[in-house]
């Protein structure tokens, strides 16, 4: 979902240091900035920026955000300062095969009890985000209003058990799937349905089975429908040698021309004018856009802004992944994640 933007850099004096999936990118950035290496602009995410804040320049007086959606800008302001500039709003809707299913599964309970082969990320942030959706959709919480860890709950236990049941009837390599592997499994016919982020629209539109794929709202929990989300964004590290020129590059990357390229690929751009200028290419595309807009309006959830939350996420997905592989029970996993979150964040540290 980033590759089509490289053309925007043609003719500019820009060197790409890291080209990788987001978790790998985060690790590389942490290593480079931790050693004081020069980076002028980084790709980040509204949920990751808090953990990178010690390395980032505040951007309120450097980058013009007047063309960007206020909701997206707010998500990139985890504390008092704008720590990153939103590129796009990322929420999942569901895509399903109407040649295999009579109707899209509308809620998680029905989905688990059905024979539908549902794909989801089996690792990294995508897995822990799906766990978060299941917990929140059932009225559970990872933290209470005072910031205390509440992960050890009946809702969390059911969430991990549901993920394990879905994985049992999915392809055996699902525990190794990242975002792109989920999309590929859908297009290769290995699964019947999956959640897809907006950047997956281009491959769906161009696939050989496009005529049997339909969009639908993401499954609802027993309490409400939620979609784990946030904003892909650009940030300027303190190691930057010329903040003004870096800000110009960021402005170009979230400007109308670059955003028009992004929107044509399916992404929901933070640059409102560019996104709204893209006309749907088909009735299916129009429905996709409508469902995505409805999800943004009613169902977005995101993690708390805490510098050490990625440590909880990393431990959480690794432990849930072990359940998917049959290496530990759901009950063990929930207790371990709760204890680790408490040790990392403290009893009241959000």
Please give the pLDDT value at position 142. 92
Please give the pLDDT value at position 241. 96
Residues 333 and 215 in one domain: yes
Cβ-in-10-Å burial (0-12, 13-18, 19+) of 62 comes to middle
- Per-residue pLDDT for 102 more than 60? yes
Please give the pLDDT value at position 308. 85
Percent of the chain with pLDDT over 90: 68
Task: Give this prediction's pTM.
Answer: 0.85
Beta-carbon contacts of residue 19 (< 8 Å; ≥ 6 apart)? none
253-262: which pairs have CB atoms within 8 A and are 24 or more residues apart? 253/5, 253/8, 253/41, 253/87, 254/63, 254/67, 254/68, 254/85, 254/86, 254/87, 255/67, 256/67, 257/8, 258/5, 258/8, 259/87, 261/4, 261/5, 261/7, 261/8, 262/4, 262/5, 262/87, 262/88
Q: Can you tell me the distance from the alpha carbon of 271 to that of 255, in angstroms, rounded to the nearest whole number?
A: 7
Q: 51, 307 in Cβ contact below 8 A?
A: yes
Confidence of residue 127 (pLDDT cuts 50, 70, 90): very high
Whether residue 104 lies inside any domain: the answer is: yes
- Per-residue pLDDT for 348 more than 60? no
Residues 213 and 335 in one domain: yes
Q: 127, 133 in Cβ contact below 8 A?
A: no
- Per-residue pLDDT for 350 more than 80? no
How many CB atoms sit inside 10 A of residue 172's CB?
9
Side-chain half-sphere exposure of 126, counting CA atoms within 13 A: 24
Give kind and range of the element (H or E) at residue 98. none
Residues 147 and 57 in one domain: no
Give bridge partners of residue 228 from the DSSP assignment: 301
Residues 130 and 220 in one domain: yes
- Per-residue pLDDT for 309 more than 90? no
Please give the pLDDT value at position 104. 94
pLDDT in tens, 145-178: 887 899 999 999 999 999 999 999 999 999 999 9
Q: Can you tell me the distance from the alpha carbon of 301 to that of 310, in angstroms, rounded to the nearest whole number?
A: 16
Whether residue 293 lies inside any domain: the answer is: no
- Per-residue pLDDT for 144 more than 90? no
Residues 49 and 144 in one domain: no
Residues 191 and 319 in one domain: yes
Whether residue 291 lies inside any domain: the answer is: no
Output the average pLDDT for the chain: 92
Residues 214 and 269 in one domain: no
Q: Which of 7-16, 52-61, 224-233, 340-349 has the lowest mean pLDDT?
A: 340-349
Please give the pLDDT value at position 272. 85
Whether residue 180 lies inside any domain: the answer is: yes
pLDDT in tens, 43-85: 999 988 888 989 999 999 999 999 998 888 988 998 889 999 9
Q: 152, 159 in Cβ contact below 8 A?
A: no
pLDDT in tens, 5-14: 888 899 999 9
- Per-residue pLDDT for 131 more than 60? yes
- Per-residue pLDDT for 349 more than 60? no
Please give the pLDDT value at position 347. 55
Please give the pLDDT value at position 193. 98
Q: Can you tell me the distance from the alpha carbon of 175 to that of 322, in angstroms, rounded to the nearest whole number?
A: 9
- What value does the mean pLDDT take over residues 205-224? 95
Residue spans of beta strands (DSSP E) within 71-145: 85-90, 93-97, 118-119
Highest mean pLDDT: which of 15-29, 144-158, 312-326?
312-326
Residues 210 and 336 in one domain: yes
Residues 85 and 27 in one domain: yes
Read off the tokens for 133.
Answer: 């959706």
Confidence of residue 123 (pLDDT cuts 50, 70, 90): very high
- What value does the mean pLDDT take over residues 108-116? 95
Residues 263 and 313 in one domain: no
Residues 214 and 132 in one domain: yes
Residues 245 and 222 in one domain: no
Estimate the share of the chain in helix, then strand, then coil, as percent rounded to the nearest 5: 45, 15, 40
Q: Which domain holds residue 78?
A: 3-90+230-283
Confidence of residue 1 (pLDDT cuts 50, 70, 90): low
Q: 198, 88 in Cβ contact below 8 A?
A: yes
Number of domains present in the structure of the chain: 2
Whether residue 290 lies inside any domain: the answer is: no
Whether residue 255 lies inside any domain: the answer is: yes
Q: Can you tell me the distance from the alpha carbon of 178 to that of 123, in angstroms, rounded to the nearest whole number?
A: 6
Domain of 100, CATH number, reads 3.40.190.10
- What value does the mean pLDDT take over residues 336-350? 81
């Amino acid at each position: 979902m980033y590759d089509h933007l490289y053309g925007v850099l043609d003719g500019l004096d820009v060197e790409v240091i890291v080209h990788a999936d987001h978790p790998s990118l985060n690790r590389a950035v942490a290593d480079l900035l931790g050693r004081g290496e020069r980076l002028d602009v980084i790709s980040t995410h509204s949920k990751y920026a808090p953990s990178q804040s010690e390395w980032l320049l505040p951007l309120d007086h450097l980058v013009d955000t007047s063309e960007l959606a206020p909701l997206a800008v707010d998500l990139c302001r985890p504390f008092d300062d704008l720590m990153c500039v939103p590129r796009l709003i990322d929420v999942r809707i569901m895509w399903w095969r109407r040649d295999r299913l009579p109707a899209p599964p509308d809620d998680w309970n029905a989905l688990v009890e059905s024979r539908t082969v549902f794909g989801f990320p089996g690792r990294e942030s995508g897995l822990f985000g799906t766990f978060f959706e299941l917990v929140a959709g059932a009225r559970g919480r990872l933290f209470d209003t005072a910031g205390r860890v509440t992960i050890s709950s009946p809702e969390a236990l059911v969430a991990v058990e549901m993920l394990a049941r879905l994985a049992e009837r999915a392809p055996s390599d699902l525990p190794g799937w990242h975002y792109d592997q989920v999309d590929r499994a859908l297009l290769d016919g290995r699964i019947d349905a999956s959640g897809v982020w907006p950047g997956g629209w281009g491959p769906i539109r161009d696939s050989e089975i496009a005529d049997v794929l339909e969009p639908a709202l993401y499954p609802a929990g027993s309490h409400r429908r939620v979609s784990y989300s946030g904003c892909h964004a650009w940030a300027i590290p303190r190691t930057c040698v010329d903040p003004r020129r870096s800000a110009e590059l960021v402005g170009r990357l979230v400007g109308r021309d670059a955003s028009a390229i992004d929107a044509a690929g399916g992404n929901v751009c933070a640059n409102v004018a560019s996104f709204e200028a893209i006309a749907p290419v088909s009735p299916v595309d129009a429905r996709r856009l409508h469902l995505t807009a409805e999800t943004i309006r009613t169902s977005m959830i995101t993690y708390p802004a805490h510098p050490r939350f990625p440590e909880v996420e990393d431990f959480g997905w690794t432990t849930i992944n072990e359940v998917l592989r049959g290496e530990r029970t759901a009950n063990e996993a929930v207790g371990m994640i709760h204890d680790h979150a408490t040790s990392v964040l403290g009893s009241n540290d959000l």
